[in-house]
């Protein structure tokens, strides 16, 4: 059903029954996004998402028959970019796929005589190039971020020192395409802290504001 629907919308789709098929596809062709069911023979979707995320920031949307907050948070903590519970409407799945791909790809450069200035931020030894969607550490190494992690970091560096509620973060990073429950935000931020904080358990850049949300305490230099 999903294959036919997405092919009718102009997408090239390959369906596989298990992790073996997924690995074969990833090894043999370029893939823009994985729509991954949680319930699969052999390795489940969570294990496969963890495997993919260990060496790639390829967008992943999880599909599951369980609409439990804990299950959603597990998927997001593993590194999924979105999470859709069954039963779902095909148009909703299409909208979420388009949303993830849209955020994943840099906007096309406008046809104009002048090239717009690059939007680059420096903070605490890090370099964030928004146009290139790249995060570079002080040693010049690139740090891979998922779509959700990148969008979250962009939101923070654009609003340094501003206390952001979870609702504000949901609206600025995902708009209406994010299910409104607090722990999705917490899971994304926990993963982001592991990548940019020296001591994730004692964050200096992304600080919690008890009872409100979060604040980016780093000093940004455009």
Band (109; pLDDT cuts 50, 70, 90)? very low
- Dihedral sign from CA coordinates of 198, 126, 156, 106: negative
Q: What is the pLDDT of residues 85-94, one digit of tens each?
A: 888 899 999 9
Taking alpha carbons only, the member of 10, 2, 87 closest to residue 36 is 2
Q: What does the pLDDT read at residue 67? A: 64
Please check the confidence at residue 79 and state whether its pLDDT lies above 60.
yes
Q: Which of 17-21, 104-108, 183-187 has the highest mean pLDDT?
A: 17-21
- Average pLDDT rounded to a whole number, residues 163-185: 70
Q: What does the pLDDT read at residue 68? A: 67
Q: What does the pLDDT read at residue 113? A: 46
3-class SS of residue 8 = helix
- Average pLDDT rounded to a whole number, residues 104-117: 53
C-alpha distances out from residue 172 to 27, 38, 109, 135, 178, Å? 35, 28, 22, 19, 10
Q: Look-up: residue for tokens 């040693």?
A: 139
Q: What is the pLDDT of residues 33-53, one digit of tens each?
A: 999 999 899 899 999 999 999
pTM of the model: 0.63
> Average model confidence (pLDDT) for the chain?
86
3-class SS of residue 128 = strand
Q: What is the pLDDT of residues 1-11, one digit of tens each?
A: 999 999 999 99
Please check the confidence at residue 155 and state whether its pLDDT lies above 90.
yes
Q: How many whole angstroms separate alpha carbon 116 and alpha carbon 110?
A: 9
More confident residue, 182 or 167: 167
CA 22 to centroid of chain Cα atoms: 20
b/e per residue, 95-108, with b = 16+ CB within 10 A? ebbebbeebbeeee
Band (180; pLDDT cuts 50, 70, 90)? very low
Q: Which of 101-105, 111-115, 167-171 has the highest mean pLDDT?
A: 167-171
């Amino acid at each position: 059903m999903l294959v036919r629907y997405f092919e009718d919308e102009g997408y090239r789709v390959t369906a596989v029954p298990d992790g073996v098929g997924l690995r074969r596809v990833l090894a043999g062709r370029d893939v823009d996004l994985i729509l991954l069911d949680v319930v699969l023979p052999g390795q489940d979707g969570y294990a496969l998402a963890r495997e993919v995320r260990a060496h790639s920031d390829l967008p992943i949307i999880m599909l599951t028959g369980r609409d439990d907050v804990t299950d959603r948070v597990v998927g997001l903590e593993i590194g999924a970019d979105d999470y859709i519970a069954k039963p779902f409407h095909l148009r909703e799945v299409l909208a979420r796929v388009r949303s993830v791909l849209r955020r994943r790809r840099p906007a096309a450069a406008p046809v104009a005589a002048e090239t717009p200035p690059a939007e680059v931020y420096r903070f605490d030894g890090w370099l964030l190039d928004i146009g290139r969607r790249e995060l570079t550490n002080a040693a010049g190494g690139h740090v891979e971020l998922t779509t959700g992690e990148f969008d979250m970091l962009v939101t923070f560096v654009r609003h340094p020192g501003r206390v952001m509620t979870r609702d504000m973060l949901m609206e600025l990073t995902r708009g209406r395409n994010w299910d409104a429950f607090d722990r999705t935000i917490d899971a994304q931020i926990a993963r982001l802290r592991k990548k940019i904080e020296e001591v994730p358990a004692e964050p200096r850049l992304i600080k919690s504001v008890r009872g409100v949300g979060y604040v980016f305490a780093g000093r940004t230099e455009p």
